[in-house]
Amino acid sequence: MDAVYTDALRLSYEEALGHSNALTDHISTDHFSANYVDPPDWAIGPFQRDPALTFRLDGQWDDPTGVGWTSSAIFNPTMIERDGELHLFYRASPRMESLASRIGHAVRRDGVWHDDPANPVVYPTLPNEPLGCEDPKVYEADRRYVLFYNANRRTEAGDIAVDIMGAVSDDLMSWEKIGLVVPLEVSQDWAKGAVVPRDEHGRAVRIGGEYLMYLSEGCGGRPMIGHSDDLVSWTFAEQPYLDLSPLSGSLFEVACAVVRGDDLVLDFFYADENGDFAAAQAHYSVDAPFTQTGLHRGGSLAWGGLQRLDGRWSFAQGWDAPRGERELYVYKEVTT
């Protein structure tokens, strides 16, 4: 790691330590997902916390970049099961919602969480990652796993850019970076939402014989869909798929996509008619994945995807941890 890159990492970390944003400092999962009003049958949720599954991170990891990096918040995780064990991948940051993030990994065995001694499992090493690696999304396809994450950098003009990157693994433990997933001519220096429809086990689901990826933020304002046969190599084409006019809102980002039988549900983050943060879900058929047939306010904002635990749709998030406490809470669908 050369001195110029190390200096950029150190500056990014120092800037992150001073991060504060009034809009996100008090963001709460319950605000979006604890209560739905008259949900349709296809909606997933509302959700309530299961305290028995709380993950807590103690101590600080060794810093492979050598800049003295530490974390005070963990959030925006993804969960996936393998051979009876629950794997958790999460964003660790110097401050809640700051840049200069790293990605950690933990495994739940016999009812106990174990943080991976190899953490961070994903951290800046590539030229476009000096401002951090964040927001993991993990999918299984044929017993192979693909992890998508956001890499942050600055453009020549000094603006922050976001690239969607990838890594692959055979065991969820050792990861090999594969680099840029969404080409710059598609992202135009900003892309988020490597959202691939997945089933209740976290497996990516083929729709029309291929894997789809919903991009929702950036790309010059164009709604883009990715197409792939292996989850690794992708092509992209403009494709409208979400109409928010019934909610009088504007889209920020699609959080996840769930396949449940013949139903496809997109869970997304948007600004409501008052400009406030809100969540909602949209309904489709797997036979027509771009034709919206329903819309309902209330959603999980499960950036890493929803899956079933103990028979209930579930996700994890760390937004409601007390300031300075590194905790992730697992939320399960309320059943009647």
SS3 of 8-38: the string is HHHHHHHHHHCCCCCCCCCCCHHHHHCCCCC
Instruction: Note the pLDDT tens digit of each residue in 215-235.
Output: 999 999 999 999 999 999 999
Contact present, 309 and 86 (Cβ < 8 Å): yes
pTM of the model: 0.97
Contact present, 278 and 230 (Cβ < 8 Å): no
Q: What are the structure tokens assigned to 41, written together?
A: 């049958």
Q: How confident is the model at residue 276 (pLDDT cuts 50, 70, 90)?
A: very high
Number of other CB atoms surrounding residue 192 within 10 Å = 21
Residue 79: CB partners within 8 Å, gap ≥ 6? 86, 87, 88, 89, 202, 304, 305, 307, 309, 314, 315, 316, 330
219, 224, 228, 231 alpha-carbon torsion, rounded to 10°: 60
Q: How confident is the model at residue 315 (pLDDT cuts 50, 70, 90)?
A: very high
List the domains of the chain with CATH numbers.
3-333 (2.115.10.20)
Q: How confident is the model at residue 24 (pLDDT cuts 50, 70, 90)?
A: confident
Residue 6 pLDDT: 97
Q: Which helix (H) or strand (E) holds 264?
A: strand 263-271
Residue 1 pLDDT: 79
Contact present, 310 and 333 (Cβ < 8 Å): no
Residue 280 pLDDT: 98
Nearest Cα to 129, choosing from 150, 147, 162, 151? 151
Instruction: Note the pLDDT tens digit of each residue in 94-119.
Output: 999 999 999 999 999 999 999 999 99
Indicate if the pLDDT at residue 205 is higher than 90.
yes
Instruction: Note the pLDDT tens digit of each residue in 26-72.
Output: 899 999 999 999 999 999 999 999 999 999 999 999 999 999 999 99
Strands 47-49 vs 55-56: parallel, antiparallel or unpaired: unpaired
